A and B are shown apart, each in its own frame.
Chain A
């Protein structure tokens, strides 16, 4: 079945659909009650219990905070304005793409993206209009996590970060590097908030798609995210043939882990687990307060 659905194509492309699953701001919807359920073990996700709790916390923040604000924003800004703002930030991110293209030994792509940045920053009115695509200068998705993958670093276990959503252990230095290499990080909080708001508003259709398609949003998000990252890291070379080998043995369900030495990252992730346990209590408190507030409003 096609998971990339027509509706999503028009709403904002498959990549956004998956990116929204967490890479962008607060990418998950309403919580699913998974308390007290036995958890099927996955090699790629040894900390599922903790990750699910953070996922639920992000859901709550999204439901009560991000979604209402994004809906209000969407109501007062036409689509072309949101597209323009998306283009503007996308153009700034090209700086990071260029650095990583060169770090990955792709000089041609690095030069193309440099051309893209120059054209869009000038002819494209500071990036609001994506003129470069008409010159066949396509946007590439390159980031430091992919660079580390190319350098041979395994992804390590899957993690869900508070507010930021899905990543892997390798993704954390990736996020730090990409943030440092993105000009948006240096222009002040209001600009960054607008970026997050715009990304969340544009993601609405794709978030709805996850709601419609998933039996378990946590698992759906995790698998989509890991596959999507793996596909990006291998520049699309991994997917088809490897899956075929994997599925050829029909009776080996759930045997697959994702590349990466889990053991290597256990120490770091154990520390992370401890920190998130404390965080979970905060999340519970937050939900209780919000529930009371919404209850008192109804009265």
Chain B
């Protein structure tokens, strides 16, 4: 009798095991989910923004930004051909500064909450294997702001590579500015100036 129970338990476990494994490994998010999860974190940080201050918002947003944005790809696109001219250390430094700058900009600028919300509008596939998730940032008593998120797949996961707010592309702006500083003043000057921006965000 006992052996029979053992066999049943073993069979049940064997049947459940793959399911348990699958459950342990979360399903890869869709592009829309990646954007919406990130927007949710941003709104959460805004809601507790006044209470937790800049440092709290920075901490709250670091992982959500790092996990939803493909900052290495963003870094490559921003510096373009210059990327190959950088040493491995310089590339790591640049990506690291870019993450910290992105998080600090969010923490600095999205500091409190006045009833704002994000609303999904549509999703478009692009010819180059990417998607654009279109959404609206709703602000009470003000005009909606269009936020278009461009995403590319990195392995199994979708990652944000650009955000276009009312038609103005963050990536295009950065590319123009950063490559100009790189060409005019060099890599160290660019990193120094980006670090200064991060410092200023924490102080203002």
Contact = CB atoms under 8 A, between A and B. Distances in A.
A108 interface: no
Interface in B117-140: 124, 126-128, 130, 132, 134, 137, 139
A18 B168 contact: yes
Contacts of A8: 109
B183 A5 contact: no
Nearest to B141: A133
Contact of A231 (B108, B109, B167, B173): B167
B150 A227 contact: no
Interface string A7-45: 111100111001000000000000000000110101000
A224 B165 CA distance: 11
Interface in A217-261: 219-220, 222-224, 227-228, 230-232, 236, 238-241, 243-248, 250-254, 256
A192 B201 CA distance: 37
Contact of B80 (A10, A245, A253): A253
Given A15-B166, A238-B167, A253-B179, A212 B200 contact: yes
A6 B111 contact: yes
A223 B112 CA distance: 29
Contact of B184 (A6, A37, A228, A256): A37
Interface size class of A (residues with CB under 8 A): 35 or more
A293 interface: no
B134 A240 contact: yes
A216 B101 CA distance: 16
B96 interface: no
A228 B145 CA distance: 13
Q: Which of B80, B102, B200 has the most CB of A within 10 A?
A: B80
A2 interface: yes
Interface in B60-86: 73, 76-84
Nearest to A38: B184
B90 interface: no
A2 B173 CA distance: 12
B34 interface: no
A227 B167 contact: yes
Interface string B179-196: 111011000001001100
A239 B183 CA distance: 27
Contacts of B184: 37-38, 40
Q: Which of B79, B146, B167 has the most CB of A within 10 A?
A: B167
Interface in A71-99: none
Nearest to A236: B167
B163 A1 contact: yes
Contacts of A243: 150, 162, 164, 169, 171-172
Contacts of A18: 166, 168
Which 10 pairs show the lowest CB-CB distances between chains A and B?
Answer: A253-B80, A231-B167, A5-B109, A4-B165, A248-B128, A240-B132, A240-B148, A6-B110, A239-B167, A244-B126
29 contacts: A2-B106, A2-B165, A3-B165, A4-B165, A5-B105, A6-B46, A7-B111, A10-B142, A13-B145, A18-B166, A18-B168, A38-B184, A40-B179, A40-B183, A213-B105, A215-B193, A216-B180, A219-B177, A220-B173, A236-B146, A240-B148, A244-B162, A247-B77, A250-B83, A251-B83, A252-B80, A253-B77, A253-B82, A254-B175
Interface of A: 1-10, 13-15, 18, 37-38, 40, 42, 138, 212-216, 219-220, 222-224, 227-228, 230-232, 236, 238-241, 243-248, 250-254, 256
Interface of B: 46, 73, 76-84, 101-102, 105-106, 108-112, 114, 116, 124, 126-128, 130, 132, 134, 137, 139, 142-143, 145-148, 150, 161-173, 175-181, 183-184, 190, 193-194, 197, 200-201, 204
Given A15-B143, A223-B172, A247-B171, 6 more contacts: A215-B190, A215-B194, A228-B168, A243-B172, A246-B172, A253-B179
